[in-house]
Amino acid sequence: MISVTQTFDTKALRKTVLDMAFAGSTVHIGCAFSIIELLAVLYRNHLRYPGNDPLAAGRDFLVLSKGHGVMAQYACMRELGWLKDEAFSGYFADGSDLKGLSDSRIPGLEVTSGSLGHGFSVGVGMAMGAKLRGTDQKTYALVGDGEINEGPIWEGSLFAAHHQLKHFMVIVDENGFQAMGRTQDVINLGNIQAKFESFGFEAITLDGHDEAAIDSAITQLWASASTAPKALIAKTVKGKGVPFMENNNIWHYTRLDQASYAQALTAVAGSVQ
């Protein structure tokens, strides 16, 4: 796990996302906010990076399959010291290395993702590779609930269960929305935990903004004697932390102006400036 000196304070992480989105006049704020607590807990308590090196041979793997939420991961990488301040103030400017989707050319981002469903399958392959090497490296694949409409998710799930990839965990950001509307209206997903269990996963559903519950569930799943892959179904709020963004799908593609940026900073930060 990461040094305890890094707190991954969720208010500060949301502020970083807002600063990036405003500086770059870019989108996908709501879907970054729904995964802030999940990433904070993973980086704070679970992911292993020997020597704080994002390319360490023995590291765990975090695959952001919902690559459009990458600003939340950039915010965590900033706290780790992997990204410098100028990368954030110059986000989306000419010459910026940081893109609006996960890009494996950036150390710390394991997969180039954004074509939904594919990152999950790559993560399953990484977990299989670790098993063949005989290591205890863990692989986490963070997916959106709309993303699990995609067939590769379920093909990969069958593969993971068949090969007993006990060090693989899918985390579903169940915020109830995808780009074009509510998931229940686009393709009704029903009970996501039951679906993963039917595919041979050991699964837990929880509040995806309750950091203590997230930490406890991840610990519980890894402590299990089962050889099944794991699934954490996190019920979240798209746009969490800014009342005018919460459950308002317009913020999938809407850009901040000066007024909405100031309002959002006040909402998420309070004392964090």
What is the tally of structural domains in the chain?
A: 1
Distances (CA, A) of 62 to 22, 38, 110, 266: 26, 12, 7, 31
Nearest-10 crossing angle of helices 10-24, 70-80 = 120
Beta-bridge partners for 100: none
- What is the average per-residue pLDDT within 38-61? 98
237 part of a folded domain = yes
C-alpha to C-alpha distance for 12 and 130, rounded to whole angstroms? 34
Summarize pLDDT for 196-206 with one digit per residue, the tens: 999 999 999 99
3 part of a folded domain = no
Q: Mean pLDDT score of the chain, rounded to an integer? A: 95
Summarize pLDDT for 74-109 with one digit per residue, the tens: 999 999 999 999 899 999 888 899 999 999 999 999
Write down the pLDDT at residue 5: 52
CATH code: domain of residue 56? 3.40.50.970
5 part of a folded domain = no
Summarize pLDDT for 158-199 with one digit per residue, the tens: 999 999 999 999 999 999 999 999 999 999 999 999 999 999
223 part of a folded domain = yes
4 part of a folded domain = no
CA proximity to 202, closest of 253, 154, 248, 165? 165
2 part of a folded domain = no
218 part of a folded domain = yes
1 part of a folded domain = no
Instruction: Give pTM, 2 decimals.
Output: 0.96
- What is the average per-residue pLDDT within 216-244? 98
- What is the domain extent for residue 75? 10-269
